[in-house]
Amino acid sequence: MKPAVELRGITKRFPGVVANKNIELSVATGHVHAVVGENGAGKSTLMKILYGMLRPDEGEIRVNGEKVVFHSPADAIAAGIGMVHQHFMLADNLTVLENVILGSEPRRMFGIDFAAARRRINEISERYGLGVDPDALVEDIGVGERQRVEILKVLYRGARILILDEPTAVLVPQEVEELFRNLRSLVEQGLTIIFISHKLDEVLSVADAITVIRRGETVANVSPKEVTARRLAELMVGSELPSPETGESTVTDEVALEVSGLSLSKDGRPLLDGIDLRIRKGEVVGIAGVEGNGQAELVEAIMGMRPIDSGTIRLLGEDITHWPTLRRRERGIAYIPEDRHRHGLLLDAPLWENRILGHQTRRPNAKGPWIDRAGARRDTQRIVEQYDVRTPGIDVAASALSGGNQQKLIVGREMSGEPVVLIAAHPTRGVDVGAQAAIWDHLRRARAEGLAVLLISADLDELIGLSDTLKVILRGRLVAEFDPSRVTPDELGCAMTGAQEVA
Amino acid sequence: MSVTEAAPPARAAGTAAPSRFRMSWRTLLLGLFGLLVLLSIGRVLTGANDITSGGTFGAALGLAVPIGLAALGGLWSERAGVVNIGLEGMMIFGTWFGAWGALQFGSPWAGVIAGLAGGALGGLLHAIATVTFGVDHIISGVAITMLGQGVTQYLSKLVFEGMPGGGETQSPRVPAPERVSIPGIGEPLQALEAKGWFLLSDLAGLLRGLTQNVSLLTIVAILLVPLSYWLLWRTAFGLRLRSCGERPVAAESLGVNVYFYKYVAVIVSGALAGLGGAFLSLVAAGIYREGQTGGRGFIGLAAMIFGNWRPGGLAGGAALFGFTDALQLRQGGVSVHALLLVIALLLVAFAVYQAVRRRHVRAAVIAAVCALAVFVVFAVTDTVPDQFTSFTPHLATLLVLSLASQRLRMPAADGVPYRRGQAS
Amino acid sequence: MTGFVDRLLGRVPLNGVLAIVAPVLAIVFAALVTSIVLIVTGNPPVDTLLLMVEYGVRPRTLVLTINQATTFYLSAVAVAIGFRMNLFNIGVDGQYRLAALIAAAVGGAVVLPAPLHIALIVVVAVLVGALWAAIAGVLKVTRGVSEVISTIMLNAIATGLGAWLLTQWAVPIAGSNNIGTRPIPESGRVPGFELIPGTTQQVFGFIIVAALVGVGFHVMLNHTRFGFELRATGQSEPAAVASGVNVKRMVVLAMVISGGTAGLVGMPQLLGHSYTYSLDFPAGLGFTGIAIALLGRNHPVGIVFASLLWAFLDNSAQILDLEGIPKEIVTIMQGTIVLSVIVAYELAHRYSQVALQRRVGRELGEVKA
Residue C139 lies in a domain: yes
| Separation in Å, CA of B32 to nearest CA in chain C | 25
Examine residue A63 and state whether it is found in any structural domain, yes or no: yes
Confidence grade of residue A244 (pLDDT, cut at 50, 70, 90): low
Assigned domain for C361 exists: no
The mean per-residue pLDDT over the stretch A240-267 comes to 77
The H or E element spanning position A474 is strand A469-474
The Cα–Cα gap between B281 and B271 comes to: 15
pLDDT grade for B4, boundaries at 50, 70 and 90: very low
d(CA C181, CA C277): 5
Residue C258 falls within a domain, yes or no? yes
Contacts of A51 in chain B (CB under 8 A): 253
* C-alpha span between A417 and C124 (Å, rounded): 44
Q: Cβ contacts of residue A117 below 8 Å, gap of 6+?
A: A97, A100, A101, A105, A106, A134
Three-state DSSP at C116 gives helix
Per-residue pLDDT tens over the stretch A332-384: 999 999 988 889 999 888 999 999 998 888 878 888 889 989 999 999 999 99
Contact C233, C246 (CB under 8 A): no
Could you tell me which chains touch chain B, where touching means 3 or more CB pairs under 8 A?
A, C
Is A179 found in the same domain as A304?
Answer: no
C-beta separation of A448 from A284 below 8 A: no
Report yes or no: B148 and B122 within 8 Å, Cβ to Cβ: yes
CATH code of residue A23 = 3.40.50.300
The reply to whether residue C242 touches residue A325, judged by beta carbons under 8 angstroms, is yes
Residue-number span of the structural domain to which C294 is assigned: 44-324
Per-residue model confidence as pLDDT tens digits over C57-115: 888 888 889 999 999 999 999 999 999 998 989 899 999 999 999 999 998 888 888 88
Q: Are A227 and A320 in a shared domain?
A: no
Residues A209 and A102 in one domain: yes
Mean pLDDT, chain C, whole residue set? 85
Do A131 and A149 belong to one domain? yes
> How many helices and strands (H and E) does chain B possess?
17, 2
Domain that holds residue A122: 5-237
Neighbours of chain C (3+ CB pairs under 8 A): A, B
User: What is the pTM for the complete model shown?
Assistant: 0.81
Check residues A470 and C361 and name the one with the higher pLDDT. A470
Domain boundaries, chain B: 46-316, 331-407
Q: Which of C4, C145, C326 sits opposite B405 (nearest CB)?
A: C145
Q: Of A66-70, B156-160, B355-359, which has the strongest mean pLDDT?
A: A66-70
Average pLDDT on B48-77 reads 89
Count of CB atoms situated within 10 Å of the CB of A406: 25
The answer to whether the Cβ–Cβ distance between B85 and C148 falls below 8 Å is yes
Q: How far is CA B61 from the centre of its chain?
A: 11
Sign of CA dihedral C39, C44, C47, C50: negative
Among A321-325, A401-405, C273-277, the range with the most confident prediction by mean pLDDT is A321-325
Partner residue facing B254 (CB), from A73, A110, A111: A73
What is the rounded CA–CA span in Å between residue A256 and residue B326? 66
Answer yes or no: is A340 within a domain. no
> What chain B residue is nearest to A143 in terms of C-alpha separation?
B12
Q: Do C367 and A40 touch (CB under 8 A)?
A: yes
User: Picking from A383-392, B108-117, B183-192, C162-171, which range would have the lowest pLDDT averaged per residue?
Assistant: B183-192
Residues A144 and A83 both lie in one domain = yes
Residue C31 in any domain: the answer is no
DSSP letters spanning C217-286: HHHHHHHBHHHHHHHHHHH-HHHHHHTT--HHHHHHHHHHHHHHHHHGGGHHHIIIII-S-BTTS---HH
- Kindly report, residue by residue over B239-279, the tens digit of the pLDDT: 999 999 999 988 987 878 999 999 999 999 999 999 999 99
Tell me the three state secondary structure of residue A397: strand
Q: What is the DSSP letter of A480?
A: E
Length of chain A counted residue by residue: 503
Q: What is the mean pLDDT of residues A9-36?
A: 85
Contact A89 B253 (CB under 8 A): yes
Give the mean pLDDT of B66-93.
Answer: 95
Task: Quote the minimal CA–CA distance from C369 to chain B in Å.
Answer: 11
- Which of C90, C148, C153 is opposite residue B397, by nearest beta carbon? C153
**Cα(A423)–Cα(A284) distance, integer angstroms:** 10
User: Do B250 and A91 lie within an 8 Å CB cutoff?
Assistant: yes
Q: Do A102 and B234 touch (CB under 8 A)?
A: no
CB-nearest to A392 from C232, C245, C360 is: C360
Mean pLDDT, residues B199-208 taken together: 82
- pLDDT value, residue C354: 75
Inter-chain touch A366–C225, beta carbons under 8 Å: yes
Q: State whether A397 and C238 contact (CB < 8 Å).
A: no
For residue B7, the model assigns a pLDDT of 27
Q: How many helices (H) and strands (E) does chain A have?
A: 16, 24
All residues of chain A having their beta carbon less than 8 Å from the beta carbon of residue B250 are 89-91, 99, 102
Region of residue A112 (phi > 0: left; psi between -120 and 50: alpha; otherwise: beta) = beta
Burial of A256: CB neighbours in 10 Å, binned 0-12, 13-18, 19+: buried
Residue C2 lies in a domain: no
| Pairing outcome for strands A421-425 and A161-165 | unpaired
Average pLDDT over residues C182-210: 84
The alpha-carbon gap from B409 to the nearest alpha carbon of chain A, in Å, equals 9
A337 part of a folded domain: no
B250 closest CA partner among A85, A342, A82: A85
If one counts the domains in chain C, the total is 1
> Domain check: are A129 and A216 in the same one?
yes
Compute the average pLDDT of residues C295-323: 87
Cβ-based contacts of C364 with chain A (< 8 Å): 390-392
**Helix/strand/coil for B413:** coil
Domain boundary, last residue among A185, A216, A237: A237
pLDDT score of A243 more than 70: no
- The nearest alpha carbon in chain A to C351 belongs to A15
Cα distances (Å, whole numbers) of residue A188 to A30, A181, A443, C176: 7, 11, 47, 94
Domain B46-316 has CATH 1.10.10: no
Reduced to 3 states (helix: H, G, I; strand: E, B; else coil), residue C85 is: coil
Single out the residue in A204, A237, A270 at which a domain terminates. A237
Give pLDDT, residue B212: 82
3 state SS of B395: helix
Share of chain B above pLDDT 90, in %: 30
Give the model confidence (pLDDT) of C98-107 as tens digits: 999 999 999 8
Q: Is the residue at A338 inside a domain?
A: no
pLDDT score at B11: 31
Chain C: residues touching A (Cβ < 8 Å): 1-2, 6-7, 11-13, 222-229, 231-232, 235-236, 238-239, 241-246, 354, 356-364, 366-369
Q: Which residue of C has its CA nearest to A393?
A: C360
Asked which of A151-155, B38-42, B93-97, B247-251 is least confident by mean pLDDT, the reply is B38-42
Contact B387 C163 (CB under 8 A): yes
Residue from B232, B246, B249 to probe the interface with A (highest A Cβ count within 10 Å): B246
pLDDT higher than threshold 60 for residue A305: yes
Q: What is the pLDDT of residue B348?
A: 86
| A392 at C interface, C-beta within 8 A | yes
Q: Give the pLDDT confidence score for residue B25 in this predicted structure.
A: 67
Angle between helices C114-143 and C247-263 (to 10 degrees): 140
In a domain, C191, yes or no: yes
When CB atoms are compared, the residue of B246, B412, B424 closest to A87 is: B424
* pLDDT above 90: residue B408: no
d(CA A111, CA C175): 70
C284 touching B (Cβ < 8 Å): no
DSSP letters of A116-179?
HHHHHHHHHHHHTT----TTSBGGGS-HHHHHHHHHHHHHHTT-SEEEEESTTTT--HHHHHHH
Over 90: is that where the pLDDT of A312 sits?
A: yes
Report residue A16's pLDDT band, with 50, 70 and 90 as the boundaries: low
Cβ pair B388:C338 closer than 8 A: no
Q: What is the mean pLDDT of residues B305-322?
A: 87
Q: Tell me the chain B residues in contact with residue C159 when contact means C-beta distances shorter than 8 Å.
A: 390-391
How many CA atoms, within 13 angstroms, populate the side-chain half-sphere of residue B331?
A: 16
Q: Which residues pair with A20 in a beta bridge?
A: A12
State whether A370 and C223 contact (CB < 8 Å).
Answer: yes
Residue C94: give its domain's CATH number: 1.10.3470
pLDDT of residue A162: 93
Q: Indicate if A255 and A401 belong to the same structural domain.
A: no
pLDDT averaged over chain A? Answer: 86
Strands C171-172 and C179-180, bridge-based pairing? antiparallel
Instruction: Kindly report which listed range (A299-308, B389-398, C244-253) carries the lowest average pLDDT score.
Output: B389-398
Angle of helix B137-159 relative to helix B87-105, nearest 10 degrees?
Answer: 30
Residues in chain B within 8 Å Cβ distance of C336? 147
Type of residue at A480: A
* B14·A266 Cβ contact <8 A: no
> Is B280 in a helix, a strand, or coil?
helix
Residue B257: closest C-alpha in chain A: A103
- List residues of chain B with CB under 8 Å from any CB of chain A: 8-9, 11-19, 230, 234-236, 239-240, 242-243, 246-247, 249-256, 409, 411-412, 421, 423-424
Chain B touched by C164 (CB under 8 Å): yes
Question: Which sign, positive or negative, has the C-alpha torsion B237, B238, B244, B247?
Answer: negative
Domain identity same for A30 and A174? yes
pLDDT class for C12, splitting at 50, 70, 90? low
Q: What angle do CA B354, B360, B363 make, to 5 degrees?
A: 75
Alpha-carbon gap, residue B126 to B132, rounded angstroms: 10
Segment A282-290 shows an average pLDDT of 89
Residues of chain B with Cβ-Cβ distance to C235 below 8 Å are none
For residue A173, what pLDDT is reported?
Answer: 67
Q: Find the length of chain C.
A: 369
Report d(CA C69, CA C207) in Å as an integer: 9
Partner residue facing B247 (CB), from A54, A83, A89: A89
In the three-class reduction of DSSP (H, G, I as helix; E, B as strand; rest coil), residue B373 is classed as helix
Confirm or reject contact between A369 and chain C (CB < 8 A): yes
Choose the closest CB to A16 out of C6, C11, C362: C362
Residue C149, domain member (yes or no): yes
Instruction: Count structural domains, chain A.
Output: 3
Q: Which of residues 56-115 of A touch C (CB under 8 A)?
A: none
CB-count burial class (<10 Å; 0-12, 13-18, 19+) for A65: exposed
| pLDDT tens digits for range C147-162 | 888 998 899 899 999 9
Residue A22 shares a structural domain with residue A147: yes
Query: Are A57 and A27 found together in one domain?
Result: yes
Buried b (16+ CB within 10 A) or exposed e, C265-274: bbbbbbbbeb
The pLDDT value recorded for residue B6 is 27
Closest CA to B86 of B393, B298, B303, B304: B298
Per CB-CB distance under 8 Å, the chain C contacts of A336 are none
Say if C3 falls within a structural domain.
no
Asked if residue A339 is part of any domain, the answer here is: no
Is A130 in the same domain as A215? yes
* Range of B384-388, C182-186, C244-248 with top mean pLDDT: C244-248
Among left, alpha and beta (phi > 0; psi -120 to 50; other), residue C197 is beta
Query: CB A418: neighbour CB atoms within 10 A?
Result: 10
* Cα B257 from Cα A86, distance rounded (Å): 22
The answer to whether A415 touches A365, Cβ cutoff 8 Å, is: no
Any bridge partners for residue A225, and if so which? Answer: none
Q: How far is C193 from chain B (nearest CA, A)?
A: 34
CB-based contact, C139 to chain B, within 8 Å: yes
